[in-house]
Amino acid sequence: MAYARFLKSDIYVIMSSGGFLYCVTCSLIDDMNGAGYSAHNTQDMIDHIKQHENAGHRVPENIYEELLKDDAENFPNQNTQNTQPSPTPPPPLTE
Ligand SMILES: [Zn+2]
């Protein structure tokens, strides 16, 4: 699933089948091989895209909404972890 393509914006963000968001050939990363930026949660990619905006790059207006909308789908394991209460609480002390 692609969130931003070079045609409409200066960045190209996809959801990788490897389970992370990927900023393809990221222009913020100074790498001859055209390395991209990997984000392992939605907020991380949002922060990254804001860095692009700050650098004056064009990003799709609705990209943040789109990312947040798909957050649960893109990172199901993370979200279940976040919403689950901490593991078995210690038994109450009896005196
Ligand atoms: Zn980037």
The secondary element (H helix, E strand) that includes residue 54 is helix 42-54
**Domain hosting residue 19, numbered range:** 2-74
Asked if residue 66 is part of any domain, the answer here is yes
Asked if residue 48 is part of any domain, the answer here is yes
Asked if residue 79 is part of any domain, the answer here is no
Predicted pLDDT of residue 7: 59
Asked if residue 90 is part of any domain, the answer here is no
Asked if residue 95 is part of any domain, the answer here is no
Q: Could you report the average pLDDT of every consecutive run of 10 residues in the chain (95 residues)? A: 70 92 89 84 97 94 93 82 59 73
pTM for this structure? 0.74
What's the domain count of the chain?
1
Distance from the alpha carbon of residue 14 to the mean position of ligand 1, in angstroms: 11
Asked if residue 42 is part of any domain, the answer here is yes
Predicted pLDDT of residue 78: 76
Distance from the alpha carbon of residue 69 to the mean position of ligand 1, in angstroms: 20
Asked if residue 64 is part of any domain, the answer here is yes
The secondary element (H helix, E strand) that includes residue 22 is strand 21-23
What does the alpha-carbon distance between residue 29 and residue 70 come to, in Å, rounded to a whole number?
25
